[in-house]
Amino acid sequence: MSRLTLKQANTIIEKALAKAREMKIKPLGVVVLDASGHIVSAQREDGASMFRLDVAQGKAWASVAMGASSRALAKRAKDNPNFFVTLATTAHGKFLPQTGAALIKNAQGEIIGAAGASGGTGEEDEACCAHGIEQAGLVADASA
C-alpha cells in the first residue's frame, strides 16, 4: 500500500485553494489526513474564520474513518440521524458527516487519506478537494 506524502498533501491544498479562488468562494480551510486520520497538512486562507480547519478536519476524518465520501455520509446521516449522532459522540466530536470532503485513493483504488474543506457550500468545498487530489496525481472519490 502506498502512503500519502507531505508533498502530495501540500499539492492537494495548493490546488484546492487555487480552485477556490477561481470559483470566487469565501476563504477556505483545507485539511489533508492520512489513512489513519492523522493530519498530513492543513492551511487556512487569509480571512478564513477560526472554525474552518476544525470543520474541514471533521469532514475528512468522517470520510476516512468510514471509508466513504462525505457526500455519501451526509445522505446516510439523513436516513439514520441517531446512529450518526452516536458516532460523533463516540469520536469525541471529530466526526462530521457533511458534504465537503473527498477520499484520496491511489492508482490501485486503495484509500490513502481524505481531504476536507470548509468555507463555501458543501458542494464547493468538495469540488475544491477533488480538484486538488486529481492535480496531485491521485484519485478523488466524492461519489454518493
According to the model, what pLDDT value does residue 144 have? 63
Domain 6-141 has CATH 1.10.150.20: no
Is residue 20 within 8 A of residue 144, CB to CB? The reply is no
Report the percentage of the chain scoring pLDDT > 90: 74
With DSSP H G I counted as helix, E B as strand and the rest as coil, what are the percentages for the chain, rounded to 5? 45, 20, 35
Tens digits of residue pLDDT in 17-76: 999 999 999 999 999 999 999 999 999 999 999 999 999 999 999 999 999 988 888 888
C-alpha cell at 9: 498533501
In sequence order, the 6+-apart residues with CB closer than 8 A to the CB of 41 are 6, 9, 10, 12, 13, 31, 32
Distance between CA atoms of 17 and 83, rounded to whole angstroms? 33
